[in-house]
Structure 1
């Protein structure tokens, strides 16, 4: 009897706790539409990218390939769906550097010589330079609900949360020796960060 009474009291407390709380009742997402979906997805991507940048001071090759794939999809869709997708030609120019960079590496895998190496560096810089524009357009395509969020405050809140997560991801990666060990990287199948902590002699 005492056990049943305790269970009922606990269930009653849980119901009272959830009353009036959108997070506990799971109704916050319904009220805010795509806010949480966009923020969760963008924050996870931003953390991962910033953490890698913090640990290894570079953007890994597969991220560069993802940029190539995204650019290729946008360019091909604009070409093949030109009757349905109306865009200015100059907008598509932002998607060319990742594509040209990848194709150049296909033709010349390991650039040697001063001129070729210079062209390779220019393409690499151009690819990085167009990332903000490419990212902004891809976000609009992948998360159309972002533009539909009511009011500027919600849009700014999404950007602020993602930026905060990215900053924390970078700092966690930069100071990875406080959070992880070299063995953690190895178990995950990654190269240990240069400043990681060894736990085994």
Structure 2
């Protein structure tokens, strides 16, 4: 009985393919493969960018622990990729540059003298750019290495992912600027963060 039903289902699928359902099923299968991949990459990029963007909006600075977390992850992946070349990035210098960016910033921060003026401002802007732009790029590289291997996104998929991450980053920065609208000074205090200037006085809200 089960074999007959299986055979009938197979015959129906074959008939459907012959009557034009085949392309529809194929298109659905392609969508099912593409949407999760782009969604995972976009979600990972958004997850990585929101905190430095919010911090920059609320405090006008990027916290050192966010930069060092980025450095630790990128260095671990870069060393692993060097040791296991078959799993490493094979598309050229861009992958390696993304992974090396945090280490380059750390070396520059250690070498450049801190006497105020343009060196400090340059390091500040470099750290901000590294966190806001380099973090999503690094997430992109990590997801390719760890989840998708050599599979590549199409130009349209790349534009969609970049657009989503940029929008989330801009919204997070705006939320940081407008933190007084939905957060209080108590929310920052109870979470262990410094209280930003311009925050709304009050006890921790349910969001805290």
Q: Secondary structure at the match of 1:33?
A: helix
Q: What is the TM-score when the length of structure 1 is the normalising length?
A: 0.61
Q: Look up the match of 1:44.
A: 47
Conserved 8 A contact 2:99-2:138 = no
What does residue range 60-139 of structure 1 map to in structure 2 within 5 Å?
60-82=63-85, 85=88, 92=96, 95-96=99-100, 98-99=102-103, 101-102=105-106, 132=133, 135-136=136-137, 138-139=139-140
Q: Does 2:59 correspond to 1:32?
A: no
Count of residue pairs the alignment pairs up: 167
* CA distance in 2: counterparts of 1:162 and 1:50, whole angstroms: 11
Conserved 8 A contact 2:51-2:172 = yes
Cα distance, 1:148 vs structure 2:
4.1
**Long gaps (5+) in structure 2:** 1-30, 204-208
Q: Look up the match of 1:140.
A: 141
* CA distance in 2: counterparts of 1:51 and 1:160, whole angstroms: 18
Conserved 8 A contact 1:95-1:134 = no
Deviations for 1:167-186, whole angstroms, at most 9, x for unmatched residues? 11111101111111100111
* Stretch moving more, 168-177 or 31-40: 31-40
* Stretch moving more, 42-51 or 133-142: 133-142
Q: What is the TM-score when the length of structure 2 is the normalising length?
A: 0.59
Conserved 8 A contact 1:39-1:162 = yes
**Long gaps (5+) in structure 1:** 1-27
Work out which of the residue numbers 164, 168, 181 in structure 2 matches 1:165. Answer: 168
* CA distance in 2: counterparts of 1:147 and 1:183, whole angstroms: 46
